[in-house]
Amino acid sequence: MDSYRASGKLVRDRIPQIIREDGAEPVTYTAAPAEYRSRLRDKLGEEVAEFLTADEDAAPEELADVLEVVRALAADLGIDAEQLEKIRETKASERGGFAERIVWTGNC
């Protein structure tokens, strides 16, 4: 495995084109399926960390990045956005959502 593969990071599909438009030539390769899934998981952690440190103005854009990675992970698992939403709805129906801001501190 060359150094690019060891140190590279997963980027959005248009990033190489944007780099070219800025006058540089990106060095890229297409990840194999197992590497792609691993890098998506890494990317999710990266995007969540960026969201957690974002101020209120930047938070919506960072949250959209998290959603983009979640959708890519779902697609990689063979689940489309509609199926993912149905799974979310089922869990919310069975266990609730987070709208009521309930904090559990243990049992008596």
Kindly report the three-state secondary structure assignment for every residue of 23-83: CCCCCCCCCCHHHHHHHHHHHHHHHHHHHHHCCCCCHHHHHHHHHHHHHHHHHHCCCCHHH
d(CA 1, CA 32): 13
Structural domain contains residue 29: yes
Residue 47 domain boundaries: 3-94
Counted domains in the chain: 1
The pLDDT value given to residue 1: 46
Structural domain contains residue 81: yes
CATH number, domain of 87, equals 1.10.287
pTM of the model: 0.85
Structural domain contains residue 103: no
Q: What is the mean pLDDT of each run of 10 residues along the chain (108 residues)?
A: 68 97 96 96 97 98 97 97 96 96 95
Structural domain contains residue 68: yes
